[in-house]
Amino acid sequence: MTGALDPEHRRRLNTLDLIVPDGQPVRWALNLLFGAGLRDRVYGPNLTLMVCAMAESEGFAVAFYGNRQEVLDELRANLLRQFPRLRIAAMIPSRFGRVEPAEQAAIAAQLTASGAEIVFVGLGCPRQEVWLYEHRHLLAMPLLAVGAALDFHAKRLPQAPNWMQRNGLEWLFRLSSEPRRLWRRYLILNPLFVSMLLLQASGLRRVAESGGRKDVRYEGFA
């Protein structure tokens, strides 16, 4: 939704190699509008565990960037209990503020020097996507934005029950867990998402090809 409302952020997102539907409503929308036939979403916490399992099996070193050091310490302990042979090359906490170019270069150098072959980034939306965009030329390994996965797997945040996740109600669970932080995201952006989806489904909101990516055009709107 940030990308839909902010042209600058949309440009950032459109430079990324792969954008996946983390939420059930996005998966449903893709199936409705484009017949994508997606049977499940690409849920950040599950993706994190699947990639860690693959990394352990293949011997790849992983790194984590974001959150606080105490969260990263608990994350390391929990992951190593689940994946004893996982090679964790680095765990770097967030700076929690604007990172200047010199600091960006230093973070990139630290991750590169660690030998990490996959980096998980957990800064929250849209900060993590901005971070990926700004570091895309500084780091040669895959960078995965996984949102709150670091908090979930560090057992700092509870996850919604499976039935809520399956039925697209995880937002309600997360809103009740972190109302002060998430109220705007869910109480304002969720209805706006539904409105924009209905406009596109009705043909009033048209998607047009532009420069290899898709831009949104509005028919009948200024």
pLDDT in tens, 104-117: 899 999 999 999 99
Give CA–CA dist 195/172, Å, rounded.
Answer: 19
Give CA–CA dist 183/172, Å, rounded.
Answer: 10
CATH numeric code, 2-210: 3.40.50
The pLDDT score that the predictor gives to residue 68 is 95
Average predicted confidence (pLDDT) for the chain: 90
| Residue 6 confidence class, pLDDT cut points 50, 70, 90 | very high
Overall pTM > 0.95: no
The pLDDT score that the predictor gives to residue 208 is 56
Paired residues of 120 in beta bridges:
64, 144
So where are the chain's domains?
2-210
pLDDT digits (tens, 9 = 90+) for 61-86: 999 999 999 999 999 999 999 999 99
